[in-house]
Amino acid sequence: MKYPLILGYAIVAVDLVVWRGRLPAHDLARLFIRLALFFALSWILFTTGLSPFTQAPDFGAIELHWLGQLLEIIWWLMGARLLSLSLDTLLLPRAWRKQRLFSDVFGAVVFLAAAVAALGFVLELPVRGLVATSGALAIVLGLAIQSTLSDVFAGIVINTTEPYAVGDWVTIDDVEGKVIEMNWRATHLLTGQGNTLIVPNAVAAKAKITNNSKPGDVHGLSIVLEIEPEARPRTVLDALERALTGCEIILASPAPFARMKRTTANSVQYEVMAFVDDMNKKLAASNELFDLCYRHLAAASVVLRALGVPAASVNSRDGREALLTRVSLFDSLSGDEVSKLAKRLTRHEYQANHQVLAPDTVPDSLSIVHSGTLSVSIMEGTSNREISRIGPGEAFGEAGLLAGLAMRVSITTLTPSVLFQLGKDDMTSFLKDHSEVAKQMCQLLAYRQDKLGKLTTPMPVEPEKDHSLFHWLVAKVWNVHSLHDDSKSS
C-alpha cells in the first residue's frame, strides 16, 4: 500500500474532527464511527509493516521513521481512549456514567497501561527498570497524597455500594441537600439555602447517611412540639390526631401518627409524624401541619407559648372573640363590634360523619369551626369528590348568610366537631346597627369571588355593564337584610 503514513494520519485527523466536533450528536453513533476509524487505522498499520508491537521501519529516511513511531504511539493512546469509552457507553449502568468516578479511574489505568506498552513496544525502552522506578515513585507520591487517595478509594466504595445517586436528597452528618455531582474526590450537595456543599468521599464513607429519596414514593416528616405538663396527654394527642386528619397533603398510608416522645423538667414533648409522596412537598406539608396543630391545640385550650411565662386566663366570651378575629370576613370590624357580634354566636356539637351542609342549599347561618375537621366535597357524576378540608378558625356559609346564594358543596364532619354559628336574624340585627360593616363585608366577599374563587355558586344574574360585582353584592345584601339605603353607597 502506498503512502501508509498519509492514510494513517488522515484517519487520525478525521477521528479528531469527529471527537472535537461531536459529530454526530448521538453518543452511540459517534462511538461506532470512531471504532470503525480505529479498525481502519489498525488494518493500515498491520498490513504495511507498521506494527504497534515493534519499532517502525525507517522508510529510507529518519523523518519518516519518527513519523511512523509517532503514529504507532497514537494507535496505543487511541485504543486506550476507545476502550474506556466503550466500557462507559455500552457496559456501565446509567447511574455510574453520570457519576463519572469509575470511568475516570478506569480511564486513567488504561491510559497508564497504554503509555507503558507504547514505551516498551514502540520505543523499546527498558520497561522493567521503568516499572521499578515508577513503583518507588508511586510510594513517595502515595504518602504525599494519602488523603486524596483515601477520597478516591472511598469514592469507589460509594459508587459500588450506591447508597445514593445524583438527584437524591440525602443527609450526611446532619447536613441535608440534593446530590448534584459525584466525582473521584467528593460529593457535591445543593443545600436548602441554595449553597453548594462539598463533602469529601472519605468523610461520606465514614458518616451516617440518610437517603431521603429511597424509597422514592414515601418521605417522612416530623414535627416536635413542647407542651406544658399540665395539659392532659389524651387531650393533646386527640388534638394532634385531628390536625393530621385535616392535612390533605400527607399520605393516608403509611398512616400518620402522634405520640408522646419524652418528658423534661418543664414540658412534655410530643411528636407528629406524617409522610408525603414527593420530596418537594415536605416543606409545604410541614408548614400546613404545624399550622393545623396550632389551631387544633388552641381549640382544645392548649396554647403553644413560652413555658416560662404563666398562661393567661381565658373566659368563654374571650374565646369566642378570639375565634371571630381569626375569620377573614370580620377583619374590618373593630374590637367593640367583635365583642357585640361574639355575644350572638351559638354553640353546636356534631359527631363524626354528620352532614352539616347539604349541596344546593342556601345556608341560613354562618358557621365557624371551633374544633374538629370537616370535609368539603362536590358531586361529580354519581360520586363525591373531596376538594378541601377545613378546621378551627375557618368559616363557611357566608355567601348564603349575606347574599342568599346557594352552595353547591356538601360539608361533612370527619371528627367530632364544635361549630359556632351566627344566624340570619342575628346578622340582620347586627348589620342594621352597623350598616357600614355590610359594605366592608361585601368588598371582601366580592374579592374572594372575583380573585380567589371562594364562592361555590355562580351568580344567578349577570351584573350590569356599569356596575361591578361589589355593587351587585351590596344590592343583594340590602334586599336580603332590608338595610338602609346608605349601605348601598360605594
96-100: list long-range contacts, CB under 8 Å, 24+ apart.
96/159, 98/165, 98/166, 98/182, 99/159, 99/165, 99/166, 99/182, 99/183, 100/182, 100/183, 100/184
The rounded percent of the chain whose pLDDT value lies above 90 is 27
- For residues 90 and 108, give the distance between their C-alpha atoms in angstroms, rounded to a whole number: 18
Q: Which residue has the cell 454526530?
A: 24
Of 63-67, 72-76, 267-271, give the lowest mean pLDDT range: 63-67
Give the per-residue pLDDT at 243. Answer: 94
When pLDDT is averaged across residues 421-435 and rounded to a whole number, the result is 80
Q: Which residue reads 480505529 in cell numbers?
A: 38
Q: Are 403 and 445 in contact (CB under 8 A)?
A: yes
Question: Which amino acid is residue 24, in one-letter code?
Answer: P
Q: What angle do CA 53, 57, 62 make, to 5 degrees?
A: 125
Q: pLDDT at position 129, please?
A: 61
- Of 250 and 215, the structure prediction assigns the larger pLDDT to 250
Cα–Cα distances (Å) from 452 to 233, 410, 443, 444, 449, in that order, read 39, 20, 13, 11, 6
Position 455 pLDDT exceeds 50: no
Q: What is the pLDDT of residue 260?
A: 93
pLDDT tens-digit map of 195-219: 899 999 888 888 889 888 887 778 8
* Residue 227, all three cell numbers: 407542651
If you write DSSP's letter for every residue of 269-300 in order, what string do you get? EEEEEEEESSGGGHHHHHHHHHHHHHHHHHHT
Q: Is 0.95 surpassed by the pTM of this model?
A: no
Q: pLDDT tens, 213-238?
A: 887 778 889 999 999 888 999 999 99
Q: Is the pLDDT of residue 362 over 80?
A: yes
Say which CATH class 318-488 falls into. Answer: mainly beta
Mean residue pLDDT of the chain comes to 82
Question: Which CATH code, of 3.30.9.10, 1.10.3720.10, 2.30.30.60, 3.40.630.10, is assigned to 161-211?
Answer: 2.30.30.60
- Rounded average pLDDT over 283-302: 91
pLDDT of 457 reads 53
Cα 246 from chain centroid?
Answer: 21
pLDDT at 490: 45
Q: What is the predicted pLDDT for the residue at 78?
A: 93
Distance, CA of 50 to CA of 43 (rounded, Å): 10
Structure-block grid coordinates of residue 158: 460509594
Question: CA 394, CA 371: separation in Å to the nearest integer?
Answer: 10
pLDDT in tens, 315-341: 555 778 888 888 877 777 788 888 888
Question: Which tens digits make up the pLDDT trace of 121-174?
Answer: 888 877 666 565 566 556 655 555 567 777 878 887 887 788 888 888 899 888
The pLDDT confidence band at residue 28, using thresholds 50, 70 and 90, is confident
How confident is the model over 391-415, as pLDDT tens digits? 998 888 877 777 777 878 899 999 9
Q: Is 307 or 367 the better-scoring residue by pLDDT?
A: 367
Question: Residue 199 and residue 177: Cα distance in Å, rounded?
Answer: 11
Which sign does the torsion angle of CA 227, 228, 230, 231 carry? Answer: negative
Q: How confident is the model at residue 458 (pLDDT cuts 50, 70, 90)?
A: low
Q: Give the ranges where 357-434 is alpha helix by DSSP (H).
A: 398-403, 424-433
pLDDT at site 304: 80
Instruction: Please say if the pLDDT value at position 451 is more than 60.
Output: no
Report the pLDDT value the prediction gives residue 9, as an integer from 0 to 100: 92
39 has a pLDDT exceeding 90: yes
Residue 349: band (very low, low, confident or very high) from pLDDT cuts 50, 70, 90: very high
What are the sequence ranges of the domains in the chain?
A: 4-144, 161-211, 219-299, 318-488
Determine the Cα–Cα distance for residues 251 and 218; give it in Å rounded to an integer. 8
Q: Which amino acid is at 395?
A: A
- Distance of alpha carbon 48 from alpha carbon 437, whole angstroms: 102
- pLDDT for 174: 81
What does the pLDDT read at residue 488? 46
Per-residue pLDDT band for 489 (boundaries 50, 70, 90) equals very low
Q: Is 237 exposed, middle or buried (0-12, 13-18, 19+ CB in 10 A)?
A: middle
What pLDDT sits at residue 444? Answer: 65
The CATH architecture of the domain made up of 219-299 is 2-Layer Sandwich (3.30)
Q: How far from chain centre, in Å, is Cα 269?
A: 27
